[in-house]
Amino acid sequence: MATQSRAPEPIPPGAAITLASSTFAFTICFAVWMLFAVLGIPLKQQLGLNDTEFGLLAATPVLSGSLIRVPLGLWTDRFGGRIVFFVLMLATVVPIWLISYATTLWQLLVLGLFVGLAGGSFSVGTPYVARWFPRSRQGLAMGIFGAGNSGAALTKFVAPALILAAGTWTIVPRVYSVAMLATALLFWMFSRSDPAHMVKSSVGWREQLAVMRDPRVWRYSQYYSVVFGGYVGLSLWMTKYYIGEYGFDIKTAAFLAACFSLPGGVLRAIGGWISDRYGAHRTTWWVMWVSWVGFFLLSYPQTDFIIQTTSGPQGFRIALTPTVFTILLFVVGIAFAIGKASVFKFISNDFTHNIGAVSGVVGLAGGLGGFVLPILFGMLADLTGIRSSCFMLMYGTVCVSLVWMHYSHRAERQRKAHAVGLTQPA
């Protein structure tokens, strides 16, 4: 007897325009969130910052954008994503503008905390767009929205061009402030709201956050701290890396750094499709292995050594050319793009009724990874003098993910096999 294929579940009216407007808004928010990745270069010279201070400056917006993710996810469940997203964008307009008047490191750090709120938009948009689509298409929808991560590449294209055209870095925050205001208004005009998506419940925050007791939340948080935290950390660090390692100017360095940021953002939609088709676990497993190989090769520093041979000393040099380095970074960017989507496919599968709270917790972990990593990159560079030490650190984090994923998945299979055995008739 032939089996009938199931017809695809219909997409409700308003879903497509809501996804498009949300993705555009998130792209601009992410561009603002990554502002100091480029702006920090002239500020480092102007203020005489070392690598650790540069890492702190670049990462400060990531801190506030991460910490706000859990409450934003809860507010999205309760009040709806449209109003939360809109108010969040408006709240950042003035702080962005004020950056152009900052003259000291502490002023920039304080303003960076307020500007960083834009990064919390991910925990608003993810559950907001997911609830517009049937489960079979949620991975793709969240992947398309997550492609707004390409805002990191947008900043690498736009900010250097603005600095070179105006001859001063102060033009960048002013342009970005106006862009954020315009984006908020456009989002409100074109997005939609569905009252059915709000969680009408008297359950308090403590009860909603009780989901953190689930070990799966911690596991997914660790995965996301690698694929998203690593993406943010390296996006903030790579422009400076290219300048220091290869001697490029800021425009060329930012352009090459975008070879990591752009695929790491745009291809997230493909990651959502792959996760829908092949499953979250299999997809994430291969993402980690590709990243493991990539970071192993990237972590090797430029090395000169001499071997004493029968015909005399022979000198050898091991170093990645800018071309090979950029290709490897591009591959890792693709892997991270797919991994960011596959981790959230785990969440949509396992926590259907708590997407906002869980995505907030997991997003917080990823964001904190993005905050801590640039500071650690700077500390390692200052302590060791080896620029590729940042990739050594990333290699270690991927190793942790692979080990944890292997043993947790094996334990889950054993539990399922045991449960099946108990249900079989004696």
List the chain pLDDT tens, one digit each, 426 residues.
444 445 566 666 678 899 999 999 999 999 998 899 889 889 988 999 888 888 899 889 988 888 887 788 778 877 888 999 999 999 999 999 999 999 999 999 999 999 999 988 988 888 888 888 887 777 778 878 878 888 888 898 899 999 999 989 999 999 999 999 999 999 999 988 776 666 554 445 565 566 677 788 888 888 999 998 998 889 889 999 999 999 999 889 989 988 888 887 677 778 878 888 888 888 999 999 999 999 999 998 888 888 888 888 888 788 889 999 999 999 999 999 899 888 888 887 777 666 667 777 787 888 888 889 989 999 999 999 999 999 999 999 999 989 988 888 776 666 655 555 555 554
- Give the pLDDT confidence score for residue 279 in this predicted structure: 85
Alpha-carbon span 169 to 175, nearest angstrom = 11
- Give the pLDDT confidence score for residue 16 in this predicted structure: 86
What are the Cα distances from residue 35, in Å, to 56, 148, 374?
Answer: 13, 15, 14
Range 368-382 burial, b when 16+ CB lie within 10 A, else e: bbbbbbbbbbbbbbe
- Give the pLDDT confidence score for residue 370 in this predicted structure: 87
Alpha-carbon span 367 to 292, nearest angstrom = 21
Give the Cβ contact number of residue 14 at 10 Å: 13
User: Which two tokens mark 293?
Assistant: 């190989």
Alpha-carbon span 142 to 355, nearest angstrom = 12
For the chain, domain boundaries: 15-193+207-415
Pick the CATH number of 15-193+207-415 from 3.40.30.10, 1.20.1250.20, 2.60.40.1180, 2.160.20.10: 1.20.1250.20
- Give the pLDDT confidence score for residue 411 in this predicted structure: 64
Q: Are 147 and 26 in contact (CB under 8 A)?
A: no
- Give the pLDDT confidence score for residue 70 in this predicted structure: 77
